[in-house]
Amino acid sequence: MDIGFIGLGNMGAHMARRLLEAGHRVVVYDTRQEAIGDLAARGAIAARSPAEVANAAETVMASLPTPDVVLKVATGPDGVIEGKRVRRFVDLSTTGAMMAQRIFKLLSARGIVQIDSPVSGGVRGAEKGTLAVMVSGPLAEIAAIEPALAVIGKIFILGERPGAGQTMKLVNNVLSATAMTATAEAMVTGMKAGLDPRLMLDVINAGTGRNTATEDKFAKAVLPGTFDLGFTAGLMMKDVNLFLAEREALGVPTDVIDAVARLLKLTCDEAGPDADISAVVQPVEKRAGVKVRAP
Protein backbone atom coordinates (compact mmCIF):
# COMPACT_ATOMS: atom_id res chain seq x y z
CA MET A 1 0.00 0.00 0.00
CA ASP A 2 1.17 3.54 -0.76
CA ILE A 3 1.04 5.55 2.47
CA GLY A 4 1.93 9.14 3.16
CA PHE A 5 3.17 9.94 6.65
CA ILE A 6 3.45 13.47 8.06
CA GLY A 7 5.07 14.14 11.42
CA LEU A 8 8.18 12.15 12.34
CA GLY A 9 8.55 12.97 16.02
CA ASN A 10 8.96 10.61 18.97
CA MET A 11 5.85 8.66 18.01
CA GLY A 12 5.55 9.25 14.28
CA ALA A 13 9.07 8.16 13.38
CA HIS A 14 8.51 4.72 14.92
CA MET A 15 5.09 4.30 13.28
CA ALA A 16 6.46 5.26 9.87
CA ARG A 17 9.39 2.90 10.35
CA ARG A 18 7.08 0.01 11.18
CA LEU A 19 5.03 0.68 8.05
CA LEU A 20 8.23 0.57 5.99
CA GLU A 21 9.34 -2.67 7.61
CA ALA A 22 5.93 -4.18 6.86
CA GLY A 23 6.54 -3.61 3.15
CA HIS A 24 4.48 -0.50 2.52
CA ARG A 25 5.71 2.26 0.23
CA VAL A 26 5.91 5.27 2.56
CA VAL A 27 6.22 8.92 1.53
CA VAL A 28 7.29 11.09 4.47
CA TYR A 29 7.34 14.75 5.44
CA ASP A 30 8.39 16.65 8.55
CA THR A 31 9.49 20.23 9.17
CA ARG A 32 12.85 18.81 10.32
CA GLN A 33 15.05 17.64 7.48
CA GLU A 34 17.03 15.31 9.73
CA ALA A 35 13.84 13.42 10.58
CA ILE A 36 13.06 12.98 6.89
CA GLY A 37 16.64 11.88 6.25
CA ASP A 38 16.51 9.19 8.93
CA LEU A 39 13.44 7.59 7.32
CA ALA A 40 14.72 8.09 3.79
CA ALA A 41 17.82 6.12 4.79
CA ARG A 42 15.48 3.25 5.66
CA GLY A 43 13.76 3.37 2.28
CA ALA A 44 11.08 6.03 2.65
CA ILE A 45 10.46 8.58 -0.12
CA ALA A 46 11.08 12.17 0.95
CA ALA A 47 8.51 14.88 0.22
CA ARG A 48 8.79 18.65 0.50
CA SER A 49 5.30 19.48 1.76
CA PRO A 50 2.04 17.90 2.97
CA ALA A 51 0.54 18.56 -0.47
CA GLU A 52 3.39 16.67 -2.12
CA VAL A 53 2.74 13.74 0.21
CA ALA A 54 -0.95 13.88 -0.76
CA ASN A 55 0.01 13.87 -4.44
CA ALA A 56 1.84 10.57 -3.96
CA ALA A 57 -0.53 8.47 -1.84
CA GLU A 58 -4.25 7.77 -1.48
CA THR A 59 -3.84 7.33 2.28
CA VAL A 60 -2.08 10.06 4.26
CA MET A 61 -1.40 9.57 7.97
CA ALA A 62 -0.39 12.35 10.33
CA SER A 63 1.11 12.31 13.84
CA LEU A 64 1.29 15.93 14.96
CA PRO A 65 1.57 17.74 18.31
CA THR A 66 -1.37 20.16 18.49
CA PRO A 67 -4.83 20.72 16.93
CA ASP A 68 -3.80 23.95 15.18
CA VAL A 69 -0.88 22.18 13.50
CA VAL A 70 -3.17 19.36 12.36
CA LEU A 71 -5.66 21.89 10.95
CA LYS A 72 -2.89 23.68 9.03
CA VAL A 73 -1.33 20.49 7.67
CA ALA A 74 -4.71 19.06 6.66
CA THR A 75 -6.48 22.11 5.25
CA GLY A 76 -4.03 25.00 5.00
CA PRO A 77 -2.03 26.30 2.02
CA ASP A 78 0.12 23.52 0.56
CA GLY A 79 -1.73 21.14 2.87
CA VAL A 80 -3.15 17.66 2.36
CA ILE A 81 -6.37 19.17 1.02
CA GLU A 82 -4.47 20.32 -2.09
CA GLY A 83 -3.20 16.85 -2.97
CA LYS A 84 -4.28 15.33 -6.26
CA ARG A 85 -4.23 11.66 -5.27
CA VAL A 86 -5.25 11.56 -1.60
CA ARG A 87 -8.57 9.89 -0.74
CA ARG A 88 -8.34 9.58 3.04
CA PHE A 89 -6.62 11.50 5.83
CA VAL A 90 -5.85 9.37 8.89
CA ASP A 91 -5.23 11.55 11.93
CA LEU A 92 -3.14 9.75 14.55
CA SER A 93 -2.83 12.95 16.60
CA THR A 94 -4.90 14.15 19.56
CA THR A 95 -7.07 17.09 18.50
CA GLY A 96 -10.37 16.67 20.35
CA ALA A 97 -13.73 15.88 18.80
CA MET A 98 -14.64 19.45 17.87
CA MET A 99 -11.50 19.99 15.80
CA ALA A 100 -11.90 16.54 14.23
CA GLN A 101 -15.42 17.44 13.13
CA ARG A 102 -14.22 20.75 11.69
CA ILE A 103 -11.47 19.10 9.66
CA PHE A 104 -13.85 16.34 8.55
CA LYS A 105 -16.21 18.91 7.02
CA LEU A 106 -13.45 20.88 5.30
CA LEU A 107 -11.88 17.77 3.76
CA SER A 108 -15.18 16.17 2.75
CA ALA A 109 -15.95 19.25 0.63
CA ARG A 110 -12.93 18.22 -1.46
CA GLY A 111 -13.84 14.52 -1.58
CA ILE A 112 -11.34 13.49 1.11
CA VAL A 113 -12.45 11.31 4.03
CA GLN A 114 -11.00 11.98 7.46
CA ILE A 115 -10.53 8.96 9.71
CA ASP A 116 -9.88 9.72 13.38
CA SER A 117 -7.23 7.36 14.67
CA PRO A 118 -5.55 8.69 17.82
CA VAL A 119 -3.19 6.29 19.55
CA SER A 120 -2.10 5.51 23.10
CA GLY A 121 0.81 3.56 24.46
CA GLY A 122 3.69 6.01 24.41
CA VAL A 123 7.00 5.89 22.60
CA ARG A 124 7.60 2.30 23.67
CA GLY A 125 4.25 1.24 22.19
CA ALA A 126 5.01 3.04 18.94
CA GLU A 127 8.41 1.36 18.76
CA LYS A 128 7.02 -2.13 19.35
CA GLY A 129 3.76 -1.78 17.43
CA THR A 130 1.61 -2.29 20.53
CA LEU A 131 -0.33 0.98 20.55
CA ALA A 132 -4.05 1.17 21.20
CA VAL A 133 -5.47 2.58 17.95
CA MET A 134 -8.85 4.28 18.47
CA VAL A 135 -10.59 4.59 15.11
CA SER A 136 -13.78 6.28 13.97
CA GLY A 137 -15.01 7.05 10.47
CA PRO A 138 -16.77 5.42 7.51
CA LEU A 139 -16.48 1.69 8.05
CA ALA A 140 -15.59 0.88 4.44
CA GLU A 141 -12.70 3.35 4.55
CA ILE A 142 -11.50 1.96 7.88
CA ALA A 143 -11.55 -1.54 6.40
CA ALA A 144 -9.35 -0.35 3.54
CA ILE A 145 -6.58 0.75 5.93
CA GLU A 146 -6.92 -1.86 8.68
CA PRO A 147 -3.87 -3.85 7.48
CA ALA A 148 -1.73 -0.71 7.82
CA LEU A 149 -3.16 0.29 11.19
CA ALA A 150 -2.62 -3.24 12.49
CA VAL A 151 1.13 -2.72 11.96
CA ILE A 152 1.19 -0.01 14.62
CA GLY A 153 -1.11 -1.54 17.22
CA LYS A 154 -4.41 -3.04 18.29
CA ILE A 155 -7.41 -1.51 16.52
CA PHE A 156 -10.57 -0.44 18.35
CA ILE A 157 -13.38 0.74 16.04
CA LEU A 158 -15.58 3.25 17.86
CA GLY A 159 -18.15 3.90 15.14
CA GLU A 160 -18.63 6.18 12.18
CA ARG A 161 -19.25 9.51 13.96
CA PRO A 162 -16.46 12.04 13.33
CA GLY A 163 -14.61 12.73 16.56
CA ALA A 164 -15.56 9.55 18.43
CA GLY A 165 -11.99 8.31 18.37
CA GLN A 166 -10.79 11.66 19.67
CA THR A 167 -13.19 11.61 22.60
CA MET A 168 -12.02 8.11 23.49
CA LYS A 169 -8.39 9.25 23.42
CA LEU A 170 -9.12 12.17 25.74
CA VAL A 171 -10.96 9.90 28.17
CA ASN A 172 -7.90 7.64 28.21
CA ASN A 173 -5.41 10.47 28.61
CA VAL A 174 -7.15 12.20 31.50
CA LEU A 175 -7.14 8.87 33.34
CA SER A 176 -3.42 8.53 32.61
CA ALA A 177 -2.83 12.10 33.83
CA THR A 178 -4.90 11.45 36.94
CA ALA A 179 -2.86 8.35 37.77
CA MET A 180 0.38 10.30 37.36
CA THR A 181 -0.65 13.33 39.43
CA ALA A 182 -2.36 11.36 42.21
CA THR A 183 0.61 8.99 42.46
CA ALA A 184 2.94 11.98 42.71
CA GLU A 185 1.06 13.36 45.71
CA ALA A 186 0.74 9.95 47.37
CA MET A 187 4.41 9.01 46.90
CA VAL A 188 5.67 12.36 48.20
CA THR A 189 3.44 11.97 51.27
CA GLY A 190 4.79 8.48 51.97
CA MET A 191 8.37 9.62 51.41
CA LYS A 192 7.99 12.49 53.88
CA ALA A 193 6.58 10.06 56.43
CA GLY A 194 9.78 8.01 56.11
CA LEU A 195 8.70 5.17 53.81
CA ASP A 196 11.08 3.67 51.26
CA PRO A 197 9.91 4.61 47.72
CA ARG A 198 10.74 1.27 46.12
CA LEU A 199 8.98 -0.62 48.89
CA MET A 200 5.99 1.69 48.50
CA LEU A 201 5.74 0.82 44.81
CA ASP A 202 6.06 -2.90 45.57
CA VAL A 203 3.20 -2.73 48.06
CA ILE A 204 0.98 -0.57 45.84
CA ASN A 205 1.53 -2.83 42.85
CA ALA A 206 0.60 -5.87 44.93
CA GLY A 207 -2.58 -4.14 46.08
CA THR A 208 -5.52 -2.15 44.85
CA GLY A 209 -3.69 1.16 44.32
CA ARG A 210 -1.67 -0.01 41.33
CA ASN A 211 -1.92 2.02 38.12
CA THR A 212 0.18 2.90 35.09
CA ALA A 213 2.28 5.35 37.08
CA THR A 214 3.13 2.90 39.88
CA GLU A 215 3.62 -0.08 37.60
CA ASP A 216 6.02 1.59 35.20
CA LYS A 217 6.51 5.35 35.14
CA PHE A 218 7.72 6.10 38.66
CA ALA A 219 10.27 3.29 38.73
CA LYS A 220 11.51 4.18 35.26
CA ALA A 221 11.70 7.98 35.44
CA VAL A 222 11.04 9.42 38.91
CA LEU A 223 12.97 7.22 41.32
CA PRO A 224 16.20 7.42 39.25
CA GLY A 225 15.55 11.13 38.56
CA THR A 226 15.85 10.78 34.79
CA PHE A 227 12.41 12.26 33.94
CA ASP A 228 12.50 10.82 30.45
CA LEU A 229 9.22 9.09 29.60
CA GLY A 230 9.16 10.89 26.24
CA PHE A 231 5.87 12.80 26.62
CA THR A 232 5.85 16.40 27.80
CA ALA A 233 3.81 18.01 30.54
CA GLY A 234 2.73 20.63 28.01
CA LEU A 235 1.23 18.03 25.67
CA MET A 236 -0.60 16.38 28.55
CA MET A 237 -1.88 19.78 29.64
CA LYS A 238 -3.15 20.27 26.08
CA ASP A 239 -4.99 16.95 26.18
CA VAL A 240 -6.54 17.65 29.58
CA ASN A 241 -7.69 21.09 28.41
CA LEU A 242 -9.27 19.51 25.32
CA PHE A 243 -11.11 17.09 27.62
CA LEU A 244 -12.29 19.95 29.83
CA ALA A 245 -13.65 21.78 26.77
CA GLU A 246 -15.60 18.70 25.71
CA ARG A 247 -17.03 18.02 29.18
CA GLU A 248 -18.06 21.70 29.35
CA ALA A 249 -19.95 21.34 26.07
CA LEU A 250 -21.55 18.13 27.35
CA GLY A 251 -22.42 19.53 30.77
CA VAL A 252 -20.50 16.95 32.83
CA PRO A 253 -19.02 17.88 36.26
CA THR A 254 -15.32 16.91 36.54
CA ASP A 255 -13.95 18.21 39.84
CA VAL A 256 -11.18 15.60 39.99
CA ILE A 257 -9.93 16.39 36.47
CA ASP A 258 -10.03 20.10 37.33
CA ALA A 259 -7.57 19.37 40.16
CA VAL A 260 -5.37 17.35 37.78
CA ALA A 261 -5.31 20.31 35.41
CA ARG A 262 -4.18 22.64 38.19
CA LEU A 263 -1.16 20.48 39.06
CA LEU A 264 -0.26 20.11 35.40
CA LYS A 265 -0.43 23.88 34.94
CA LEU A 266 1.78 24.38 38.00
CA THR A 267 4.28 21.92 36.52
CA CYS A 268 4.30 23.75 33.18
CA ASP A 269 4.68 27.12 34.94
CA GLU A 270 7.59 25.98 37.12
CA ALA A 271 9.40 23.33 35.06
CA GLY A 272 8.30 24.50 31.61
CA PRO A 273 5.92 22.91 29.11
CA ASP A 274 8.76 20.90 27.57
CA ALA A 275 9.45 19.14 30.87
CA ASP A 276 8.68 15.44 30.90
CA ILE A 277 5.26 14.45 32.24
CA SER A 278 7.02 12.65 35.11
CA ALA A 279 8.19 16.09 36.32
CA VAL A 280 4.66 16.58 37.68
CA VAL A 281 6.06 15.25 40.96
CA GLN A 282 8.51 18.15 41.27
CA PRO A 283 6.14 20.94 42.41
CA VAL A 284 4.80 18.59 45.10
CA GLU A 285 8.33 17.67 46.19
CA LYS A 286 9.33 21.32 46.30
CA ARG A 287 6.49 22.22 48.66
CA ALA A 288 6.94 19.12 50.82
CA GLY A 289 10.71 19.47 51.10
CA VAL A 290 11.49 15.88 50.04
CA LYS A 291 12.38 14.10 46.81
CA VAL A 292 11.06 10.71 45.73
CA ARG A 293 14.38 9.22 44.61
CA ALA A 294 16.04 5.82 44.88
CA PRO A 295 19.01 5.66 42.49
Q: What is the CATH number of the domain that holds 240?
A: 1.10.1040.10
**Structure pTM?**
0.94
Domain assignment of residue 294, yes or no: no
Report, as an integer, the average pLDDT of 283-290.
Answer: 98
pLDDT tops 90 at residue 177: yes
* Single residue among 126, 161, 196 that ends a domain in this structure: 161
Query: Exactly one of 169, 217, 238, 291 is catalytic; which is it?
Result: 169
Q: Are residues 149 and 183 in the same domain?
A: no
Does residue 40 sit in the same domain as residue 177? no
- Are residues 188 and 114 part of one domain? no
Which pLDDT tens digit goes with each residue over 69-103? Answer: 999 999 999 999 999 999 999 999 999 999 999 99
Question: What 8-state DSSP symbol labels residue 133?
Answer: E
Would residue 25 count as lying in a domain?
Answer: yes
Question: Do 83 and 145 share a structural domain?
Answer: yes
Residues 183-237 have pLDDT tens digits of 999 999 999 999 999 999 999 999 999 999 999 999 999 999 999 998 999 999 9
Do 151 and 13 sit in the same domain of this protein? yes
Residue 139 lies in a domain: yes
* 14 & 154 share domain: yes
pLDDT at 295 > cutoff 90: no
Residue that terminates a domain, selected from 161, 179, 201: 161
Give residue 272's pLDDT: 98
154 is catalytic: no
26 and 129 share one domain: yes
Average pLDDT value for the chain? 97
Average pLDDT over residues 148-168: 97
Let me know if residue 253 belongs to a domain.
Answer: yes
Residues 141-169 have a mean pLDDT of 97
Answer yes or no: is pLDDT of 243 > 90. yes
Q: Which of 121, 140, 161 is the last residue of a domain?
A: 161
Task: For residue 65, give the CATH number of its domain.
Answer: 3.40.50.720
| 295 occurs within a structural domain | no
Is 275 part of any domain? yes
Strands 2-6 and 25-29, bridge-based pairing: parallel
Q: How many residues would you count in the chain?
A: 295
One domain for residues 93 and 206: no
Per the structure, how many domains does the chain have? 2
Statement to judge: residues 37 and 121 lie in one domain: yes
Report how far apart, in Å, the C-alpha atoms of 139 and of each of 51, 114, 195 are.
25, 12, 52
Is there a single domain that holds both residue 84 and residue 146?
A: yes
Q: Are residues 72 and 96 in the same domain?
A: yes
Verify that 124 and 184 share a domain, yes or no: no
Q: Which domain holds residue 38?
A: 2-161
